[in-house]
Structure 1
Amino acid sequence: MLTALEVFTTVTVGLMVGVEFSVAFVVNRILDALPEDAGQLGRAHGGRMLGALMPFWYIGSLALTAAWAVTGWHQAGTGLVVIAAGLLIVSVIMSVLLLVPINNRGKTWTPDNRPADWKQQMNRWDRYHYARVTVIIAAFTLLVTALT
């Protein structure tokens, strides 16, 4: 049972890392290269779509990691799992305090109602997102290491 939880947790966190890495280094670069207003409209749509999904994924990943830490408390590698859970807590806090406020504004923007500094706000979101991706990659790495 513990092995199944370990594998399921690692896969879940790994998939989240893959999606967030892709957003940071592939999707947003593609959107930024689109002509005229297409990139801003794509970011707004992505903010609505992923903004609805990611809270469940982040909290679910944290819950699974916490369950692994509790269930496998006396197993080797539990310290790494606890640190990974701490990093996932940091990622949730970063999301709520830094990224979600910008995303909540950006997902409502159209070419007609976006503020003059919309590009600067998207660049700020990108910088926070890079930091968050680094945090969740570290958490994922610790979980993988704990499996070995």
Structure 2
Amino acid sequence: MSLLTVKNIRWLASSTLIVLLASCGQSPTKVSVDGAWVRTPLPSKTTTAAYVLIKNLTKDAITLTSADSETIGAIEFHKSETRDGRHRMVKLDSLEIPAKDTLKLEPGGLHLMLFRIKEVEEDRHVINFHAEGDLTFQATFEILDDAPE
């Protein structure tokens, strides 16, 4: 019985060491994501908008260069603006998150435009974000009719 116990202890120690060594190469968390949601598309439409708060936890600015998803055909960065009394959306090439600051994507302001959305079984989409310097992260966006309170 004691041999079995020693074997179990060795296995546990080896497994713990492997997990610790595997985590040594990972970089610390650079962003946090909160309040991610996608507006429910209108009936028979496959285009909508998504909103989220992305907090930059680093001492350097982060520039988001693209976003993609397995359940969304294309994702663009957009800004809503009013000029000469007319509302319009402007496509942006990138979004910058200043150091130690939060990027707020919200209705009437900066947002993600989602095109060719596929139907999903669960009420959510996972979106991958890509930034300069090979930084990538993902967020799960809940599908909602209205902004969460």
Shared topology, TM-score over 0.5?
no
Q: TM-score, normalised by structure 2?
A: 0.23
Higher relative contact order (CA 8 A, sep 6+): 1
Q: TM-score, normalised by structure 1?
A: 0.23
Larger Rg: 2
Instruction: Identify the structure with the greater helix proportion.
Output: 1
Instruction: Identify the structure with the greater strand proportion.
Output: 2
